């Protein structure tokens, strides 16, 4: 089965600093989803990447998919307290829909 490993597991940054979260797959990625979860709440969809080399941005968050490395990265520029939460990457399985998730990265942004 496919496994996704996220790094770092937790991260504390000062407001205004940039940060990167990585998601590495044990198998070839056919696509990659990024979600954010606020503490005690459900998952909020951020971005979906479907092609090798694809890069998407939304506000101050940019995600890239590198199929050759079986890896995706999520970069936040000029972090804000509102960025705090748990970031999870998910990948579709061979059936195309069933998602496997990484362990999550817990982000804290200090004002």
Partner 1 sequence: DAGITQSPRHKVTETGTPVTLRCHQTENHRYMYWYRQDPGHGLRLIHYSYGVKDTDKGEVSDGYSVSRSKTEDFLLTLESATSSQTSVYFCATQTQGTEAFFGQGTRLTVV
> Among residues 76 and 88, whose Cβ is nearest to partner 1?
88
When asked if residue 30 is in the footprint of partner 1 (CB under 8 A), the reply is no
Rounded CA separation 70/95 (Å) = 18
Phi and psi, residue 18, nearest 5°: -90, 155
97 touches partner 1 (CB under 8 A): yes
- 85 touches partner 1 (CB under 8 A): no
Beta-strand ranges (E) seen in 3-95 are 4-7, 10-14, 19-25, 32-37, 43-49, 55-58, 61-66, 71-76, 85-92
Contact between 102 and partner 1 by CB under 8 A: the answer reads yes
Six-digit token string for 98: 């069933």
* Cβ distance to partner 1 smaller for residue 78 or 98: 98
Residue 94 touching partner 1 (CB under 8 A):
no
Contact 88, 104 (CB under 8 A): yes
- Selected binder of partner 1 within 28, 45, 59, 110 (CB under 8 A): 45
Residues that bind partner 1 (CB under 8 A): 1, 33, 35, 40-45, 48, 88, 90, 96-104
């Amino acid at each position: 089965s496919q496994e996704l490993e996220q790094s770092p597991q937790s991260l504390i940054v000062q407001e205004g600093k940039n940060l990167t979260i990585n998601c590495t797959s044990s198998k070839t990625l056919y696509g990659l989803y990024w979600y954010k979860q606020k503490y005690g709440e459900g998952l909020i969809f951020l971005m979906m990447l479907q092609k090798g080399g694809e890069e998407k941005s939304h506000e101050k968050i940019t995600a890239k998919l590198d199929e050759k490395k079986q890896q995706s990265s999520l970069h936040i520029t000029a972090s804000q307290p509102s960025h705090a939460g748990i970031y999870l990457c998910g990948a579709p399985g061979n059936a195309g829909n069933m998602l496997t998730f990484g362990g999550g990265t817990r982000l804290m942004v200090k004002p």
